[in-house]
Structures are given as structure tokens and as C-alpha cells.
Amino acid sequence: MAFKNIELRRLQGDEREAFIKMNQLAFRIGAVGESWPQDGENVPQDEEIISREDILQSLDAPNAEAFNIVADGKVVGGVVVQIDHETQHNSLDLLFVDPECHSAGIGRAVWKMIEAKYPQTVVWETHTPYFETRNIHFYVNKCGFHIVEFFNPKHPDPHEADTPGGELFLRFEKEMKRGDRPSPSGFRPAVAEDRGAIQALYASVKGTAFCVWNDEYPGDDDIDMDLANGNLLVLTNGAEIVGALSVSDENELDTLNIWNRRDAVAEIARVCVLPAWQGNGLAGLLLKRAEAWLAAKGFKTVHLLVERRHLPAIKTYLNAGYEIMGRCSMYGHEYYACEKILPANTET
């Protein structure tokens, strides 16, 4: 069985019951298929390999993020991860696929999506019972995990008093090197369906260091205006929007008397990258793609403002070839006004 489109969709509240039932079914059938090692007998149908309480504990954990696995429009599994934003030592709590869809590459594809979705992860951790040979093969041989610990009666898991399958469990780790972290490759104008993702992107950077955005700006009106004018450009990693900026050929910066060039000018504004992706040069990549997009439309010069205390952004713009033309006071803040002449052969 082959699927053309596999994606992760965030689990909604009214989908939890179906998620739990599918998880239990997948584990139960998987255990039977692995010859459940209890006197050679199959698992009784009235007993669950993973309890409802265990699943709810994962779903309701403070750092939990849960998703349905959707293949060609049909829910075929689920994922729960725990994301520690401080240490970036993250864990895969649950990953299950409908047994009818096994051997279709879904699990491997989903794991690649998870790694891409959380690129700042330092170490991934997960667990599985010792008899789940299919899972062990998947984690070690397909996903690059290493077995680092074997929990048993003489070496119990200090964090779990009672685990599915008894006390015989394997713990796996995968240390993520920077080269393991996928780089976003997509760039395009945003569409109406991206509105929610753009809202979430803006919200994710508000309140972070150096950011002067507030609850009102940028707001829904700014997003709607940019979408209507085709001025919102996004950087994507698969289906995820990881960065965005706005462009305009009519802007308030034209009134500043500090520019060298005023012909075929575009303004770049509202440049932002998801916090989880920051520090990887994506703002520079986003600028490069946007400049190529503008050059293809006949623009020759770019103007932008950067808050004068925003040192990381200032460094990014200077490295990208922008020149500080002067200072100005606008919107209640002090900014550097920056200009860049676009080369005729700007590449994407």
C-alpha cells in the first residue's frame, strides 16, 4: 500500500477518544503479532497493552504536543512528543500506525517530519518493551536511535512504577548533530489558508528578546492586508511555515530624507523566524529568497528598518549586504534605516 501524501495534524479535543482507541488497538494487535511472551498465549481481547490512563498521562503532560497521522486524507495513526524548550532534551512518548498500514513507509516518514518540526532538539529519547522487535528494528535501524539502557527487575526504571509489558523495557536515545537537522527548502507567497500559521508565527516571537512587537502589532488586519495584496512571503519546511516577511512598494519609509536610491524601491518589513529555528541562518536565507523574488519583479532597491537595540537582526542585515543610512524615530521606537541595492543576477 502506497500513500501519496502523509502529514501531521495537531490533535483536537474532540479527536482524543478516537486517538485513544486507535492507539490501544494498534498496540494490542502489534503485541499479538509479536507473540506476546506470556505462556505463549495471545493477549486477551479484554486487556489492553497500554491503558487509557497511560495515554491520557502522555496527552495531558505539560510539554505534550499530540498529532494525528493523516495519509491521503485518512487518519492512520498518532504521535505524542514531550518538548522541553529549555534543555531541548525531548522525548517520543507515543507513535503508532494502524496495522493495516504497516510496511508502507508511514512510520519513517513521520519520524522525519518530527525531526524537521523540532530542529533545535539536542537529544531524542523513547522507550519500548523488550519483546517489540518490530519497534526495536524501527528505532535502531530506520531512525538512528541507540539502545542506552535496559530496565529490568534488577535495574528498574526510576520514573515508572508500573509500565506496559512489565518491567522489561529498553530506553533509546538519538543525539542530534547540527548536520542531522533538515534545512527549510520551500519559499512562496502566502495564501489565505496560511492565515492561522502566520498568526501563530507572529505570536511565537512576541515577548522574545529584542522584539518590540506587541499585542496589537502585527495584528489580523496586517495579515489580511498582506494576504490580499500578495505581499506576504513565507519560508517553509515541508508543510510548516518557519519564517515570513512582508514586502511593499508603497510605504512610509519613502518620506525619510536619508536614502541613496529612490527608484524601483520595495520595503521589507515584519521579518520573523520561529524561535525553534532561530540561530540557523534562516533570516538570511529568507532575505535572500525575498530579494530574488523582488528582483524578478523589477525592483532594484530594498529599504527596511531595524530596531537599534536588536543586535542579532542588525548583524543579519549587515551580513546580507545592507548599509545603515541613518537613524529615525517611528512607531515609538528608535530604528536604523537600512538600504541594499539588488544585484541584477540575484539568485534564489
- Could you say which of 164, 180, 196 is where a domain stops? 180
Do 17 and 57 lie in one domain? The reply is yes
Residues of the chain with pLDDT under 50: 34-41, 43, 163-166, 346, 348
Clarify whether residues 16 and 101 are in a common domain.
yes
Domain that holds residue 259: 186-341
325 is a domain residue: yes
Count up the domains in the chain and report the number.
2
Residue 206 lies in a domain: yes
Distance (Å, whole) CA 238 – CA 85: 22
Residues 6+ apart with CB under 8 A from 33: 99, 134
Kindly state whether residues 276 and 335 are assigned to the same domain: yes
Q: What is the DSSP string of 143-164?
A: T--EEEEEEBTTB--TT-SS-T
Would 111 be classed as within a structural domain? yes
Query: Taking a C-beta distance cutoff of 8 angstroms, is the pair 77, 8 a contact?
Result: no
The verdict on 240 and 260 lying in the same domain is: yes
> CA torsion sign, 100 to 24 to 43 to 148?
positive
* Residue where a domain terminates, one of 180, 197, 215: 180
Same-domain check for residues 33 and 81: yes
Using CA atoms, how far apart are residues 23 and 78, in angstroms rounded to an integer? 7
> Is residue 254 domain-resident?
yes
Could you tell me which residues are beta bridge partners of residue 299? none
Does 229 map to a domain?
Answer: yes
Question: Does one domain contain both 310 and 175?
Answer: no
CATH code where residue 157 lies: 3.40.630.30
CB contact at 8 A, 119 and 178 = no
Predicted pLDDT at 40: 40
Q: Are residues 116 and 235 in the same domain?
A: no
Residues 320 and 229 in one domain: yes
Question: Are both 190 and 145 inside the same structural domain?
Answer: no
Residues in the chain: 348
Q: What is the pLDDT of residue 331?
A: 86
145 shares a domain with 57: yes
- On whether residue 221 sits in a domain, the answer given is yes
Check whether residue 162 and residue 193 sit in a common domain.
Answer: no
- 208 in a domain, yes or no? yes
pLDDT in tens, 3-56: 888 999 999 999 999 999 999 988 887 666 644 444 444 545 556 778 899 999
Chosen domain end from 159, 180, 201: 180
Are 202 and 169 found together in one domain?
no
The model's pLDDT over 52-102, given as tens digits with 9 standing for 90+, comes to 999 999 999 999 999 999 999 999 999 999 998 777 889 999 999 988 888
pTM as predicted: 0.53
Residue 348 lies in a domain: no
